[in-house]
Amino acid sequence: MSDMKQQFRQAMAHLGAAVNVITTAGSHGRCGITASAVCSVTDAPPTLLVCLNRSSAMHAVFDGNRNVCINVLPASLEGVARHFARLTNLSMDERFNLPVWDEGIDGVPVLRGALASLQGRIVEAKEVGSHSVMFVETTEIRVRNDGDSLIYFDRNFHRVPRAVKAA
């Protein structure tokens, strides 16, 4: 690995980010991944960007289906994040057989306990280096108002407690 690539990866390890499980289902199959490369783009129309490695076998499934759900994870669902990051031995089918899923639009899995679930469609994708930057226009949003957040920082998962509002 080049020195610049290694330095970039080390620098990005210091960029804390929300942990998300991105799911899809459709004629190309059903799959999901854990990702922290998710960012809001605009609220009119509500659009997010998701970065997916093009060399991943799941890239073609997401690109083919186009329907996705971005599930923002609470700290209590770190185990789900670990499954979809392939840190456990559960198969994709076993991951979706866990009793934590609802069926969303077009059969896309929606994580029941997510802090937020944003269902939508990939409306555009741009190839940048090893990844595709996929723009997801949101059509359905579910938000919870409780629960601690889960972030990925310094190559580990961390709980961020929800701030207690003063009375």
pTM for the whole structure: 0.91
Where in the chain are the domains?
A: 3-160
Predicted pLDDT at 166: 63
> Exposed, middle or buried by CB within 10 Å (0-12, 13-18, 19+), for 65?
buried
Q: Which residue has the tokens 């997510």?
A: 114
Q: Got the DSSP string for 66-115?
A: -EEEEEEPBGGGHHHHHHHTT-S---HHHHHHSTTEEE-GGG-EEETT-S
Superfamily of domain 3-160: Electron Transport, Fmn-binding Protein; Chain A (2.30.110.10)
Convert the pLDDT of each residue in 126-159 to its tens digit.
Answer: 999 888 999 999 999 999 988 899 999 888 899 9
